[in-house]
Amino acid sequence: MKMQLSEIANAVGAKNDISQWESIEVTSVQFDSRKLTPGALFIPLLGENDGHDYLNNARKAGAVASLWAADHVNQPTDFPILVVDDTLAALQDLARYYLNKINPRVVAVTGSNGKTTTKDMVAAVLATQFNVTKTYANFNNNIGVPITILTMEPNTEILVVEMGMDRPGQLDFLSKLVTPDIAIITMIGEAHIEFFGTRDRIADAKLEITHGLSDDGIFVYDGDEPLLRDRAESVSERQATFGRQTDDDLYALEVEATDHQISFKTNRSDLTYTIPMMGEYNVNNALAALLVADIYQIRPENAKRGLANVSLTENRTEWIRGDQGEMILSDVYNSNPTAVKEVLSAFAQTPVQGRHIVVLGDMLELGDQADDMHAALAEYLDPQTISTVYLVGDHMKALQGTLTSRYSADNLRWYAADQLDQLTTDVAEQITADDQLLLKGSHGIHLEKVLAALEAKK
């Protein structure tokens, strides 16, 4: 982005006179003073800390201006500020203004699983023929989506934006903020069921992504999910489905999976598509991307090339070389029962000279059903295919209890969430170059610390 401060002041409805600073040029926005680069507009947000307290740090890092909440005292007089009622609302207003100014087509993606991978795949196939901006990392909430919008280059033709939620109403707001031309729901699982109670209510909340859909927009969803099929009847806009059934608009044929890639054909093309990741469940994510490719008339050979070269967001089912020479399958950003079952099934089938070893961290935000859902994972852990299991977190105690009859004490170990150092030591002592290790858990368990300690040093 590149805007003069006077333009930003109008967009956010600044309450103060900025005539002496109106020609200042802003080239980025940032709410974290530690990550700010010169030329930025600083956004002091209220959270565990008050962002206003970090204005001096932002100035030292090169901020050229800042928002300032009207109810905060000690307003600076020697630095350009824009006084607003609410700094977060002002950030969102600025993003809405900039989105309308650049006016790209917008593809919005949500789902209990697969939304980040699908976002990456959609962006990859579209980027073969368009200038594309996509959500960075996990910037998918009421702060991250506006930041994503404001990172767009002026030549952006399509914005691919990921949308997360853990409460009703969040996707309604985000959808109306970006007014997508295409809204995608990858699937309905149990993520955040603590706040919703049932999958039906999760489906209701996910459908909010269609609330801001443009009049000529298209709703793309998993046609094999009855909860979505039923609710799609309430969506008046055009629809397209993907899945594994022949009544879907786009479905997969001749699926072949290895430990590092998946290939498949579709009912619409004789081409064989290849995606550089394991797990047949990722075929549906690729199908969603191919539907978007069809809608935007991406040439099939370009879509094939985009999928084959997709750049995936870090820590999403990623093979990494370990320090002992072993291969580590890292999936440590988030976790829920559906995702764990899928990755365990795929991991257990990967060829290995040594052993399959898994480290599973708690799946968070499952509410009263948490222990039962953790215990139910036992069905996917067989000593014949997965030799050793390390469990981390209070809820994984329930899974440990169900596995004690199958695994010896040497091959089944449990750790509290604050014992990651001991876990890392124990895994490092046992693992060999011939083994494969899976790390899977919710981000709040911080298995990325274990990964960092075990991966090969560069």
Strand 318-321 versus strand 327-331 pairing type: antiparallel
pTM: 0.86
Domain ranges of the chain: 3-84, 104-308, 318-454
Q: How is residue 191 annotated by DSSP? A: T
Look up the CATH number of domain 104-308.
Answer: 3.40.1190.10
The highest-level CATH class for domain 3-84 is alpha beta
Question: Positive or negative, the Cα torsion across 20, 26, 32, 37?
Answer: negative
- Terminal alpha carbon distance of the chain: 35
Of the candidate CATH numbers 1.20.1070.10, 3.90.1170.40, 1.10.1060.10, 3.90.190.20, the domain formed by 318-454 belongs to: 3.90.190.20
Q: Do domains 3-84 and 104-308 have the same CATH topology?
A: no
Cβ atoms of 448 and 359 within 8 Å: the answer is no
Q: Is 392 exposed, middle or buried (0-12, 13-18, 19+ CB in 10 A)?
A: buried
Query: CA 191 to CA 166: how far, in whole Å?
Result: 8
Cβ atoms of 223 and 244 within 8 Å: the answer is no
Q: How is residue 25 annotated by DSSP? A: E
Burial 82-98 (b: 16+ CB within 10 A, else e): bbbebbbebbbbbbbbb
Q: Which residues are part of a known binding site for ATP? A: 111-117
Q: What is the pLDDT along the chain (458 residues), one digit of tens a residue?
A: 999 999 999 999 999 999 999 999 999 999 999 999 999 999 999 988 999 999 999 999 999 999 999 999 889 999 999 999 999 999 999 999 999 999 999 999 999 888 999 999 999 999 999 999 999 988 999 999 999 999 999 999 999 999 998 788 999 999 999 999 999 999 987 765 666 668 888 899 999 999 999 999 999 999 999 999 999 999 999 999 999 999 999 999 999 988 789 999 999 999 999 999 888 889 999 999 999 999 999 999 999 999 999 988 865 678 899 999 999 999 888 888 888 998 999 899 898 999 999 999 999 888 888 999 999 999 999 999 999 999 999 999 999 999 999 999 999 999 999 999 999 999 999 999 999 999 999 989 999 999 999 998 76
For 213, the token pair is: 């859909």
Query: CA 289 to CA 287: how far, in whole Å?
Result: 5
